[in-house]
Structures are given as C-alpha cells and as structure tokens.
C-alpha cells in the first residue's frame, strides 16, 4: 500500500485518543509515526488478549510497570472493547513513577458513553481520523486523483488504493456486510437486527435529506424513538454525522429537522447497492453524491486544522436551500450552495438569494465543477470546488 501523508496532527509527548471508523488507517498512521521498539501494544481485537485481560485485569498495570525503560508509548487498540481499562490507564498516569504516553484508539464511542467510561479528564487529547481527503491525495505521485472515481467508490484507504474496480466493490461489500452489520450484532447494540438492517438501507437512501423520523419508522414498522436511537448508534459508531439547520431564529425557515451524512460516500453507495451503477455527470444522483462528498471534505479538513467552525444548513422549502453554512469564530459567515455542473445560473441559486436577505453580511458561494472562479450579480461568487477547498 502506498504511503500518503495524512493531515492529522498527533502529539509525540502527550497521551491521546485516536477515534475513527474501521479501515480509515489508524494502525497505519501509528506504525508510521511511532517507533515500534518504543511501543507496548494491546490489541483488543484479539480475542485471546481480551480473555487474558478479563481473567486477570491486573496484568495490564503490571505489564506497564515492568516494561523496559525504553518503552515510551502504550498503545491500546479498540479501547471500547474493554472500557474498564481506562480506569487502569488513569491509575498508571497517577501512580506510576515513570508513566508512559498512552495512545488509545477506538472505532466506537458508544460503549465508552454507555459505561460512563473514564475519559481521563484532560489527561488525553481527543483526535479523529477520517477517510482520505483531497488535500492528502492531490499531490501524490502514487496515483492521480480522479474525482469521478472517488465519488463512485469513496476514499477509504484500502478502497482508494485497490488495483481494480472489482476489488473496490468487494472491499466495500465486505465492509458493509461484515463490519457494519456484524459489529452491531456482536456488541448487542440493537435487539431487532432485521429492523436495523432495513433502517441501514433507508438511512443510506435518505443520506443528505432532511430527516423524517416518522416516515422511516412507518416504513420499517418500529416507533419514532427507535429510529432516533438507530441514528444515534450510527453517530456513536462513527458511521456518520448530523448537520443541523442554522440556529439563528428565522421566521420563514421551516426546517427544524437535521440531515444525516454517512462518513464515506462509497460506504453509503454500498449500503444502497448502487456500486455497480456508474455515476453519470449531469444526473441527479451525481449531484447528490458530489454534494455529500464536498460537505465531508470541508468538515473533515476543518477538523484536522482545528478551525472551530460551526456547520449547518439553511432550508425554507424544496426550492430554497443552502447546502452548507459555515460560521467562523471571527463572526464571518459563508453560505455555500453546491451545484454539480460547470456553468451555474443565477436563477437557480434561490437559496443563496433568500439567505442573503436574512444574513446580508454573509459571503455567498456557489461551489461547482467550473474551471475558473467568476462573480455573478448580487455578490454571488462561483468557485471551482478545488478553489473552495483551498480557502477553507
């Protein structure tokens, strides 16, 4: 597998949590940045390791205390498998004469929350790793970045670097069938696995739409509270995130429901069983996937650079919507409408025009497939998606 420089910044002299879905490259980046002969490693995906620790919990503390003095880092992989181990980490931090730095990885925060796990109260920084983003891929000499390919299959590292489209298909099928469904079953996150599997399909189909919990509940035959819990499971297992409607009180704004976006558009398309359907430019489906991908890119990049932006969307009705609102700490507001074409027309940008009436100070941007930036009337900027990402 080729080496790509990941944007995430990890401390060398402070303990940290590294959260991220499975297969985003957490183990790879740790192997690259932390010298193996300075590590003590606990793999909680190894059932034998887990059983050993469950039989004798004290072995964790003793192993660390008796480690070679050259061992600087203790890595615990998939820490949510044994949430109590964080109490032992805390004990080492507080009582050891020569405490190591702890690197605690996880693909789910659900068990940690559910068990009120010890999150070390500031003794460990929280970081999150995502699938590859454009800035990590654009300058690589290993593979030329291809937008259509990334929209079709997403950017999980193994998928992006796979040697053929058939292999990408198989990896994504295995990811959704084995990991997503089996992991949820194994951790007993839901009682009715059949209903949850139906929900996964509907959630993937509704990706990027304002959520109608009651409609989804009716389709599956469960109550609305259950659907909200299912979405929370996806969020807690890092399978996606909510985008909320903008909070500022606006009379004409109807939408009070959030949107949900899966963490990777390839995974979302695999859940919909659309991987074998080519994405064709100028179609509605291409537009939806492009919007999904670009919003993820902006959210992930801002997280890596610790921008502290607030993200939301603006919606009045089906015709009047702004896909992404960015509120910066300095008070600047960016309103971004995403169009998957290279020549957006002013009359189609109703959302931006509506938003400008309520937020006249906002910067109005249409992000699209155009090659060059240009200005439209009413202060609307047309920006190629690459230019927008450079400015975020």
pLDDT tens-digit map of 104-149: 999 877 767 666 566 677 788 999 999 999 999 997 777 889 999 9
Contact 33, 10 (CB under 8 A): yes
Asked if the model's pLDDT at residue 257 lies above 60, the reply is yes
Q: Which fold has domain 16-128?
A: Rossmann fold (3.40.50)
Quick one: pLDDT at residue 163?
93
The structure's pTM equals 0.92
Alpha helices in the chain (DSSP H): 26-33, 47-55, 58-65, 85-95, 110-114, 134-137, 147-153, 157-160, 165-174, 183-186, 193-205, 213-220, 224-236, 265-271, 284-304, 350-358, 385-391
Q: How confident is the model at residue 188 (pLDDT cuts 50, 70, 90)?
A: low
Q: How confident is the model at residue 97 (pLDDT cuts 50, 70, 90)?
A: confident
Element (H, E) at 240: strand 240-245
The conformation of residue 37, written as its DSSP 8-state character, comes to G
pLDDT tens figures, 5-61:
899 999 999 999 999 998 999 999 998 898 888 899 999 989 999 999 999 999 999
Quick one: pLDDT at residue 1?
46
Asked if the model's pLDDT at residue 368 lies above 60, the reply is yes
Q: Please state which of the four CATH numbers 2.60.120, 3.40.50, 3.40.1400, 3.40.1350 is assigned to the domain occupying 288-391.
A: 3.40.1350
The whole-number average pLDDT for the span 369-385 is: 94
Whole-angstrom Cα distance, residue 341 to residue 338?
9
Whole-angstrom Cα distance, residue 252 to residue 137?
41
Domain ranges of the chain: 16-128, 134-249+256-280, 288-391
Which position has the higher pLDDT, 313 or 233?
A: 313
Asked if the model's pLDDT at residue 313 lies above 50, the reply is yes
Q: Which fold has domain 134-249+256-280?
A: Arc Repressor Mutant, subunit A (1.10.10)
């Amino acid at each position: 597998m080729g080496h790509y420089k990941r944007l995430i910044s990890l401390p060398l002299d402070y303990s940290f949590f590294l959260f991220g879905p499975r297969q985003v490259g957490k183990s790879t980046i740790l192997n690259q940045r932390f010298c193996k002969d300075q590590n003590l490693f606990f793999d909680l995906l190894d059932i034998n390791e887990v059983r050993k620790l469950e039989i004798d919990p004290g072995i964790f503390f003793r192993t660390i205390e008796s480690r070679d003095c050259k061992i600087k880092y203790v890595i615990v992989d998939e820490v949510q498998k044994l949430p109590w181990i964080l109490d032992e980490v805390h004990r080492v931090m507080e009582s050891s004469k020569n405490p190591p730095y702890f690197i605690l990885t996880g693909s789910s925060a659900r068990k940690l929350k559910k068990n009120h796990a010890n999150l070390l109260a500031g003794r460990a920084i929280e970081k999150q790793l995502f699938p590859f983003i454009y800035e990590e891929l654009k300058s690589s000499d290993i593979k030329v970045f291809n937008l259509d390919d990334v929209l079709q299959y997403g950017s999980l590292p193994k998928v992006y670097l796979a040697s053929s489209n058939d292999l990408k298909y198989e990896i994504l099928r295995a990811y959704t069938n084995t990991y997503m469904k089996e992991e949820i079953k194994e951790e007993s996150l839901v009682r009715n696995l059949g209903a949850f599997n139906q929900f996964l399909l509907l959630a993937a189909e509704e990706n990027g739409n304002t959520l109608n919990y009651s409609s989804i509940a009716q389709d599956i035959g469960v109550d609305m509270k259950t659907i909200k819990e299912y979405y929370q499971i996806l969020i807690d297992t890092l399978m996606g995130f909510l985008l909320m409607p903008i909070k500022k009180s606006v009379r004409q704004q109807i939408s009070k429901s959030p949107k949900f976006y899966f963490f990777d558009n390839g995974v979302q398309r695999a859940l919909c069983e659309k991987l074998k359907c080519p994405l064709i430019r100028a179609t509605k489906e291409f537009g939806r996937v492009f919007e999904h991908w670009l919003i993820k890119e902006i959210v992930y990049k801002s997280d890596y650079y610790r921008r502290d932006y607030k993200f939301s969307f603006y919606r009045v009705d089906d015709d009047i919507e702004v896909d992404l609102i960015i509120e910066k700490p300095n008070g600047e507001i960016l309103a971004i409408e995403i169009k998957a074409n290279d020549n957006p027309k002013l009359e189609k940008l109703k959302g931006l025009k509506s938003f400008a009436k309520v937020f006249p100070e906002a910067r109005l941007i249409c992000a699209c497939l155009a090659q060059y930036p240009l200005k439209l009337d009413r202060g609307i900027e047309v920006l190629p998606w690459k230019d927008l990402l450079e400015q975020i």
